[in-house]
Amino acid sequence: MSLLTMNSAKQKTDKPYYQITSLVSGLRVLELLAGKESLTVTEVAGLLELDRSACHRFLLTLRDMGYVKADQRARYRLTLKVFEIGNKIANIIEVRPAARPYMRKLVSLHKETVNLGYLDGFDIVTIDVVSGQEVIRFNSPVGSRSPIHTLAMGKAILAFRPQEQQAEYLESVDFQPFTPNTITDGKRFRKELEKVRRQGYALDNEEWAIGVCCVAAPVFDFTHHPSHAISISGPSRNFTNKKVAQIVKDLTTLCKSLSKELSTRNT
């Protein structure tokens, strides 16, 4: 046996006897998607230097198990199932424990319910809620999800995402009306995003539910990427122009402080 053949044989046996190659490859696919917005089968295969047909099977299996989903352009992205599995250790590294004091502060200032949302695909998922002190209050259950265009939190995050991501949403989403006030026109929604980006906050004027108003601002992580938003929601009659102006001032100030805190946690 030549030295080259011996070295090649040794490299093949360097892998631990218990290691399952297909499992390793599947986890590599998950890890790759965790760092990307979305990828096609061909892109995954190219980036991981794997066989395309094998990558397709990995992605279909992960899809069937609920870990990934594909959009209309056959681009795959992670779902929140990965988040759910990591929930037990999330308090160490997630935004929720950092956001909690700011959320409580907002409740103490304005008495209304405060929500923390996360962008998952084309939906906003509520991942934490601090209930308001008013007799009448509206709480979205933790884990609930709604389309971006129906929520102030959705507008607040998407407005600060790159133009190509906004375009993908506008091209792909079906603007279903939740109420008569829901924005259902793509051009109007694009203008709404431009307005949100200019002013730094978003409003939901009974667009998600009649009788409920909401003000939201984005939260940026240590990479200056807006994946979360904090909102204050409550009965429409409580949200006078004067109150909204004060909420905007306090909310944007605290969201900026939280973003600054998150930016220093990983440096």
Burial label, 106 (beta-carbon count in 10 A; 0-12, 13-18, 19+): buried
The CATH number linked to 36 is 1.10.10.10
* Residue pLDDT, tens place only, 173-200: 889 899 999 999 989 999 999 999 999 9
Question: Is residue 36 scored above 80 in pLDDT?
Answer: yes
Residues 106 and 29 in one domain: no
Least confident of 64-78, 111-125, 136-150, 234-248: 136-150
The CA distance from 145 to 131, in Å, is 18
Residues 145 and 214 both lie in one domain: yes
Final residue before a domain boundary, out of 59, 79, 99: 79
Residues 167 and 55 in one domain: no
Number of domains in the chain: 2
Which pLDDT tens digit goes with each residue over 122-171?
889 888 899 887 655 566 778 788 999 999 999 999 999 989 889 989 98
The burial class, CB within 10 Å (0-12 / 13-18 / 19+), for 6 is exposed
Residue 66 makes CB contacts below 8 A (sequence gap 6+) with 79, 81
Residue that is last in its domain, among 55, 79, 103:
79
Together in a domain, 51 and 148: no
Q: Give the domain range for residue 96.
A: 85-265
Does the pTM of the predicted model rise above 0.85? no
pLDDT at 97 over 90: no
